[in-house]
Amino acid sequence: MLSSNLIPLTVVGIVSGLAAGIVGAGTEIMIVPMLTLFGLYANLKQRIGTSLVMLLPPIGLMAAYRYYQKGYADIPSGLYMAAWFALAAYISSTYVIDIDEQKIRIFFSLFIICIGLYMLFSKPLKKV
């Protein structure tokens, strides 16, 4: 799979990495749609699983370091959320593996639409 798809896999890595530095490491929401766009992997579960593997090593380490250097990273809060993130991701993956792919596709699509609409129409938050 790797050797026959180097160009689209490279594009996915670069685009999601650039976006991570701009909007935060939460760009995994972009990865699955990009893998779908390029027609990579036979089903949605393979795309989700592959995107999780991609996120293991870097998960924003370099970008987080740059933000930390400038005083914009709250390390204790980030690590606290990471612990809950890891636990929740493990629990949800246990169940999602057995769910019908069409239901996952619908949920994923509706989630992206809702988040996009919220971002488009919400008022900026006050600085704390």
Each residue's pLDDT tens digit, 51-77:
888 877 666 677 788 888 998 888 888
- Spell out the domain ranges in the chain: 3-121
Residues 6+ apart with CB under 8 A from 60: 20, 24, 25
Q: What is the pTM (predicted TM-score) of this model? A: 0.64
pLDDT at 26: 63
